[in-house]
Amino acid sequence: MPAARTWLALGCLLALASGAIAEDTVSAASAKYGPTVYDCLRKAGLTSLIKIVDAAGMKSYFSTTYQINSLFAPNNAAVAQLYRTLQLPEQTALANKRLMLQLLKYNTIPYVRRTPYWPTKGNGFKKQKTLIPGMMLRLYTTSAGRLAVSGFANNATLIGKPGYNLVCARSVVHVTDGVLLPIEPGM
């Protein structure tokens, strides 16, 4: 009988310990990206996008924990390419608050769309509303099996391993290799 109690006590102790480890892992994963989208961008090293958020006056919007969005967050190289495509120096582009606001609104959908939501390869696309009324994005999987999003003027591919979602509060951030444009450059 005492051996059974010892095993029972040991089993309970292991169950409690594994629960604590799992809880620590979840907490560590949440802390890694931050409690808000803005913190997530900062911790992911997306400094160029942070400048756009600040220039657009949307820091407070992306700093709340109650927003429910999916943000297609271009990496720093993609933002640098945007400035070259627009033929504008970074500071000139950032000074155009309306342009920066439109870019952010177009790269944001008012729903959480984690990667399992994407259609599988060969199964078409899923249209999504953006924060710009009447403007849509299309989620699809490329022939090479990569998750992508298509805008009015261009496409962007999600960067990271399959299933890559940066969860920030009630929103999700998908790092991309391009900036989705609501218009064609030069128009």
pLDDT band of 163, cuts 50, 70, 90: low
The pLDDT tens digits for 95-130 are 999 999 999 999 999 998 888 788 887 788 999 999
Alpha-carbon span 83 to 91, nearest angstrom: 10
The pLDDT tens digits for 20-53 are 333 322 333 333 477 999 999 998 999 999 999 9
> pTM for this one?
0.79
With 60 as the cut, is the pLDDT of residue 16 above it? no
The pLDDT tens digits for 71-99 are 999 999 999 999 999 999 999 999 999 99
Alpha-carbon span 141 to 144, nearest angstrom: 8
Alpha-carbon span 35 to 41, nearest angstrom: 11
Q: Which residue has the higher pLDDT, 134 or 7?
A: 134
Q: What is the distance in angstroms between the CA of the first residue and the CA of the last residue of the chain? A: 83
Alpha-carbon span 128 to 137, nearest angstrom: 5
Alpha-carbon span 156 to 166, nearest angstrom: 17
